Structure 1
């Protein structure tokens, strides 16, 4: 005996399906990190490095793109520049013509022998004439992998162009450097950052104050990626992005805190100053390395004798070096405070000699 059962299935209209798909895409865009959401799509969208962009445009116009080596501080547009070039070169064929690797993850010789060599050895498919391998953070690659890469670059030049991206060009072996055209990316200027920052803040509905904007510029040191990450974090945590919100999100000491620390070290008795600074560090969760960085910048604006300034800068560097090596923060704080007291004595001796 058989039973036939009819089931009424919901019918979805074509237009409604498209609407759902669009909603999913829009929702995905809303949750993207702003660094990716606002990454420049073309070379014309880049806010800096105009000379480099113009040179690359000429290379592509003549279809003579060489192997490239981009180096400079983080967040200055190195990856964005080569991705914009790749989109302009390959258009809809981007995914099949570009191999993008982050060398800090894939940094061994196996990657060069397998992924890069396999991709490079296949002949070109489209009319552009070559494919593109992007090696990001290549200064993390081992020496052996870089040596193997040198041979791959040489052997497959007819099929592939390489773009090697790094922060420290000194960590790239000379044999690889000599095979590439080098471009140095400088930190972004404040006016270049400000225009993009204002646009993104307006697009995202961020209530960004003037002191908040100045704080973002101060803590970023020309790093656009860092600015956008901090801005997004502040917007998620606070209704209003001001100076206090920026410094609290980054964990760096406020300018007022640095001034308080400097005043204590220069004017208070040793044990009193130590107690005040230790209490402030505990209350606000400040790292001694961050305090030293801010002190270094604060010293630039102080009028103190040259001998005292040189002494402080030398010993600030020593304390920072010891902290980087894993030294105990409490011990290094007492050392730092002791150096300041000696600097005060040097300044007093200078004043007496005058």
Structure 2
């Protein structure tokens, strides 16, 4: 617990950067410009339909809904919005009681506006609870609108999907994540190298929330954002070692590849972390021809599947490297047919 300073000032609490720099307006949301433009049209029109927003974690789904709700309701936001997260109990009883009672509640809102119920991580709701929502959505449509945010829209039952305008969010591009990280670095005066920010983008895989959290963790813990520090904080195998391993496989040098594998394995990384990093690194290697890269990805995919099924041993990874090296001995595999 923070204590007050000697001069009697109130204690200062450091907000997590992911909250401190969370967008408050739709204009501030990074990426998915086409989808955000659709939300801006709803904001200007004022008549919000039921919404179903799907996409990967950390790309701004819930934030966008909150920005829209703030813009539509203004000062009445607190009274006019009910948010239920996956951490809340959301069975049939909650739908029948809490959601229904909020939909029935009379609230003073700006003219032409509706109450908004935000159901975050809606794909984790039980089938029975989703069925119970169908009638509630219809009965109270004049006063209340529902916004569902989920990672996988196919887990939302069809009757609810047909009642909603569906918005799909794509993964953020590396350039969009990099631009936002540089803005935060300038505002927080974070000492960093360009390669350090590139490492953050690499580890986040389009997840803005993870990128900002990793940036804060690296800066707070180690005082400088460099590639080595980032991979230390994220606890992922270093791509440089993985790149050298794949380069040796492409040349058919099994001894060097196995040395690099032993080096990574002895650092204590799990097989699934190693094979995931191998997959991400091979996609970025320009030194490997496209046809060879596709065959490499195919083999890595099979190995990833076996590891997820429970066979997570170094022998499994060694077998992968030997099969990748073997491709070097089969040049006919990569001949382009004319």
State TM-score, norm by structure 1.
Answer: 0.82
Alpha-carbon separation, structure 2, partners of 1:299 and 1:190: 17
Alpha-carbon separation, structure 1, partners of 2:110 and 2:295: 63
Measured after TM superposition, the shift of residue 342 of structure 1 is: 3.2
CA shift digits 1:298-336 (9 cap, x unpaired) = 434343584x55543333212212222332333422332
1:210 correspondence with 2:194: yes
- The size of the alignment, in residue pairs, is 327
| SS of equivalent to 1:177 | helix
Measured after TM superposition, the shift of residue 176 of structure 1 is: 1.0
Instruction: Tell me whether 49-58 or 94-103 shows the greater mean CA deviation.
Output: 49-58
Alpha-carbon separation, structure 2, partners of 1:74 and 1:81: 13
Q: Is the 8 A contact 2:244 2:260 kept in 1?
A: no
Q: In the alignment, which residue of structure 2 is the partner of 1:114? A: 97
1:182–1:335 distance in 2 versus 1, CA, 3 Å: same
Alpha-carbon separation, structure 1, partners of 2:95 and 2:48: 22
Which of 309, 312, 331 does residue 347 from structure 1 map onto? 331
Q: In the alignment, which residue of structure 1 is the partner of 2:4? A: none
Q: Is the 8 A contact 1:252 1:286 kept in 2?
A: yes
1:322–1:108 distance in 2 versus 1, CA, 3 Å: farther
1:47 correspondence with 2:30: yes
Matches within 5 A, 1:261-300: 261-266=245-250, 273-274=257-258, 276-283=260-267, 285-300=268-283
Q: Is the 8 A contact 1:309 1:343 kept in 2?
A: no
Q: In the alignment, which residue of structure 2 is the partner of 1:15? A: none
Alpha-carbon separation, structure 2, partners of 1:223 and 1:310: 25
1:154–1:329 distance in 2 versus 1, CA, 3 Å: farther
Instruction: Tell me whether 106-115 or 160-169 shows the greater mean CA deviation.
Output: 106-115
Structure 1: any 5+ residue segments left out of the alignment? 1-18
Q: In the alignment, which residue of structure 2 is the partner of 1:303? A: 288
Q: In the alignment, which residue of structure 2 is the partner of 1:237? A: 221
Q: In the alignment, which residue of structure 2 is the partner of 1:58? A: 41
Alpha-carbon separation, structure 2, partners of 1:57 and 1:207: 36
1:163–1:270 distance in 2 versus 1, CA, 3 Å: same
| SS of equivalent to 1:162 | strand
Q: In the alignment, which residue of structure 1 is the partner of 2:301? A: 317
Q: Is the 8 A contact 2:237 2:264 kept in 1?
A: no
1:298–1:40 distance in 2 versus 1, CA, 3 Å: closer
Q: In the alignment, which residue of structure 1 is the partner of 2:310? A: 326
Q: Is the 8 A contact 2:271 2:312 kept in 1?
A: no
Q: Is the 8 A contact 1:208 1:242 kept in 2?
A: yes
Q: In the alignment, which residue of structure 1 is the partner of 2:121? A: 137
| SS of equivalent to 2:119 | strand
Q: Is the 8 A contact 2:252 2:325 kept in 1?
A: no
Matches within 5 A, 1:15-164: 23-24=10-11, 27-28=12-13, 30=14, 32-103=15-86, 105-128=88-111, 129-164=113-148
1:305–1:136 distance in 2 versus 1, CA, 3 Å: closer
Instruction: Tell me whether 206-215 or 51-60 shows the greater mean CA deviation.
Output: 51-60
CA RMSD of aligned residues (A): 2.8
Alpha-carbon separation, structure 1, partners of 2:160 and 2:299: 38
Measured after TM superposition, the shift of residue 66 of structure 1 is: 0.5
CA shift digits 1:8-38 (9 cap, x unpaired) = xxxxxxxxxxx97x834xx23x2x2111111
| SS of equivalent to 1:23 | coil
Alpha-carbon separation, structure 1, partners of 2:289 and 2:177: 33
